[in-house]
Amino acid sequence: MTAEVADSQQRQLATMVAVYPLADELGEWFAAAGHELYLVGGTVRDTLLHGPGAQDLDFATSARPEETERLLNGWADHVWTTGARFGTISAWRDDTVVEITTFRADRYEPGSRHPEVVYGERIEEDLARRDFTINAMAVQVPEPRFVDPFGGLQDLRDSRLRTPQVPEVSFGDDPLRMVRLARFVGVLDAEPDEPARAAAERMAVELDTVSRERLRDELDKLVVTPAAAKGIDVLCDTGLADRFVPEVSDLRMERDPIHHHKDVYTHSLAVMERCPRDDRILRLAALLHDIGKPPTREFHAGGKVTFHHHEVVGARMARQRLKELRYPGDEVEKICQLIAMHLRFHGYADQPWSDSGVRRYVRDCGSDEQLWRLNQLTRADITTQNKKKARWLERSVDHLEARIEQLKEEEELSRIRPALDGNEIMRYLDLQPGPLVGEAREMLLDARLDQGPMSEEEAYALLDQWAQERGLR
């Protein structure tokens, strides 16, 4: 505990955090067996910030893993030991998940990301190996005692991010902590202290030793934080982004003083933050939606700047990057589809589409979820400072959405399909499975989109005409 925290305040803080009945019960269970138990990490930090509400509880204990497992088997509804080799035993009771880890004082071999697991004897040793001081606070249970050896409470108050040890040691132990630095900037709207920022800049190349999956997971968590743009700034300012998402850094194109165009990087972050935080796919698409602009930028006489086909180029670039980061295939397709389609709305405000155009827009989205996302991205992409123009564009999106709903009611638009399926086409034209069946079905679908609902009789008439044109009749 730091000297700045008086005894009375220490007791008050401990009481504020130790508000979970299960924690007290478990603390008594461990104390009776002669072991110490502490609430630690995010549980302490978030309870101090927001009050009670944690669904999962993190603990550190003096008990060795086998003893922790034995104690939990007499207390929990279910126990699992997948983290036992790292000293962690997990359990579930009364809809609450608890993770209990033996005090750690790990050692890392140079160049290795896997620590030699060494158990510690004191909570202070365990807290010293954590990533940031705000996560290096603990509260003992059942008799609450607040432990803060590195000044995490004051850093939490000051919205400052520091490492318990010198940052070179902390980041050297696990370079992913440098990306977590950016993530916690986004979570807490905090600032890294200068030593941490400088160390991240010097050590950015160390991210090359971190698995792409771990980097992906941190990026996922960052983009949905309250101050995500601020966290992305840290990634780009330190050079960390260059090691795993260089396309985002590249958005900081040099701005020509003669050829004026908006700041693509700042615009991209603004679009991301205008998208709902609870949709990670949408936020990733927003962050990456203009990454095709740097390679497609062209200057023209009179100060005009163009980025022709940047949505197509950007979707291709995003697919390559997301695959490298080991994103699931379905998520890659959803994100890239949004990027490729983010300009589809352009022109609607000047000349609203025909019913056929609206049907195709919905059909190309593929699902109601993707349709909603694309409309959200379209709204978020309206960042013009011209208030009159912004209102006009917003009303145009409203108009498009209203037309979609109207057509859905009239035609069950979400179920658009040809009047005849593949089997019916094959029977009628006496065809075997193959490309011709697909061509015929696509022709009927195009007709459905252009003309609206049609009867089977009308569909067969179109099929006759199509077959005659191809010499099939």
Determine the average pLDDT of the residues in 402-409.
87
pLDDT at 262 > cutoff 80: no
CA 456 to CA 124: how far, in whole Å?
77
Amino acid letter at 313?
V
Burial of 301 (0-12, 13-18, 19+ CB in 10 A): exposed
CATH number of the structural domain spanning residue 123 = 3.30.460.10
* Cβ proximity of 148 and 142 under 8 Å: no
DSSP-based three-state secondary structure for 102: strand
pLDDT at 135 > cutoff 80: yes
What's the confidence (pLDDT) of residue 395?
93
Domain-located, residue 57: yes
User: Is residue 378 domain-shared with residue 422, that is, in the same domain?
Assistant: no
Share of the chain above pLDDT 90, in %: 64
Residue 220 CA to its chain's centroid (Å): 3
pLDDT category of residue 438 using cuts at 50, 70 and 90: confident
Determine the average pLDDT of the residues in 225-231.
98
Domain-located, residue 379: yes
pLDDT at 116 > cutoff 50: yes
Determine the average pLDDT of the residues in 112-140.
87
What's the confidence (pLDDT) of residue 113?
54
* Cβ proximity of 288 and 325 under 8 Å: no
Final residue belonging to a domain, choices 96, 124, 158 = 158
What's the confidence (pLDDT) of residue 2?
47
Determine the average pLDDT of the residues in 357-384.
93
Of 182, 158, 88, 171, give the one whose Cα is nearest residue 131: 171
Determine the average pLDDT of the residues in 167-193.
96
Domain-located, residue 329: no
User: Is residue 370 domain-shared with residue 443, that is, in the same domain?
Assistant: no
pLDDT at 358 > cutoff 80: yes
Residue written as token pair 């110490």: 36
pLDDT at 259 > cutoff 70: no
Instruction: Answer with the residue of higher pLDDT: 90 or 105.
Output: 90
What's the number of domains the chain is made of? 3
Domain-located, residue 34: yes
User: Would you state the structure tokens that stand for residue 41, as one six-digit string?
Assistant: 């990490």
CA 156 to CA 192: how far, in whole Å?
12
Residue 419 CA to its chain's centroid (Å): 40
What is the DSSP track for 203-254? Answer: HGGGGGGS-HHHHHHHHHHHHTSTTHHHHHHHHHHHT-HHHH-HHHHHTSPP
pLDDT category of residue 34 using cuts at 50, 70 and 90: very high
What is the DSSP track for 374-427? Answer: HHHHHHHT---S-HHHHHHHHHHHHHHHHHHHHHHHHH-GGG---SS-HHHHHH
User: Would you state the structure tokens that stand for residue 425, as one six-digit string?
Assistant: 């086409």
Final residue belonging to a domain, choices 416, 431, 459 = 416
DSSP-based three-state secondary structure for 460: helix
What's the confidence (pLDDT) of residue 257?
45
Q: Could you give phi then psi for residue 253, rounded to 5 degrees? A: -70, 145
User: Is residue 21 domain-shared with residue 100, that is, in the same domain?
Assistant: yes
* Cβ proximity of 282 and 338 under 8 Å: yes
Q: Which domain holds residue 367?
A: 344-416
- Mean pLDDT taken over the chain: 90
What's the confidence (pLDDT) of residue 452?
79
- CA distances for 129 relative to 107, 196, 204, 425, angstroms: 10, 15, 20, 67
Please report the sign of the dihedral spanned by the C-alpha atoms of residue 381, residue 383, residue 384, residue 386. positive
What's the confidence (pLDDT) of residue 168?
96
Domain-located, residue 254: no
User: Is residue 82 domain-shared with residue 19, that is, in the same domain?
Assistant: yes
pLDDT category of residue 391 using cuts at 50, 70 and 90: very high
User: Would you state the structure tokens that stand for residue 222, as one six-digit string?
Assistant: 């960052």
CA 21 to CA 137: how far, in whole Å?
20
Final residue belonging to a domain, choices 158, 173, 193 = 158
Residue 418 CA to its chain's centroid (Å): 37
**CB count in 10 Å sphere of residue 251:** 22
Strand partners, 57: 98
pLDDT at 15 > cutoff 90: no
User: Is residue 110 domain-shared with residue 22, that is, in the same domain?
Assistant: yes
User: Is residue 81 domain-shared with residue 11, that is, in the same domain?
Assistant: yes
Largest distance between two CA atoms of the chain: 95
Pairing relationship of beta strands 96-102 and 88-93 according to DSSP bridges: antiparallel
H or E, element range at 270: helix 264-274
Domain-located, residue 16: yes
What's the confidence (pLDDT) of residue 413?
57
CA 114 to CA 103: how far, in whole Å?
17
What's the confidence (pLDDT) of residue 53?
76
Domain-located, residue 143: yes
| Of the candidate ranges 33-42, 91-100, 177-186, 453-462, the one whose mean pLDDT is the lowest | 453-462
Bond prior to 142 in cis (omega within 30° of 0): yes
Instruction: Answer with the residue of higher pLDDT: 421 or 224.
Output: 224
Please report, for the chain, how many H helices and E strands are present, in that order.
24, 11
pLDDT category of residue 390 using cuts at 50, 70 and 90: very high
Query: pLDDT tens digits, residue range 55-91?
Result: 789 999 999 999 999 999 989 999 999 999 889 999 9
pLDDT at 204 > cutoff 60: yes
User: Is residue 423 domain-shared with residue 412, that is, in the same domain?
Assistant: no
DSSP-based three-state secondary structure for 84: helix
User: Is residue 455 domain-shared with residue 349, that is, in the same domain?
Assistant: no
Query: pLDDT tens digits, residue range 275-310?
Result: 999 999 999 999 999 999 999 988 888 778 888 899
Strand partners, 58: 99
| Of the candidate ranges 128-137, 138-147, 391-400, 416-425, the one whose mean pLDDT is the lowest | 416-425
pTM value surpassing 0.85: no
pLDDT at 323 > cutoff 50: yes
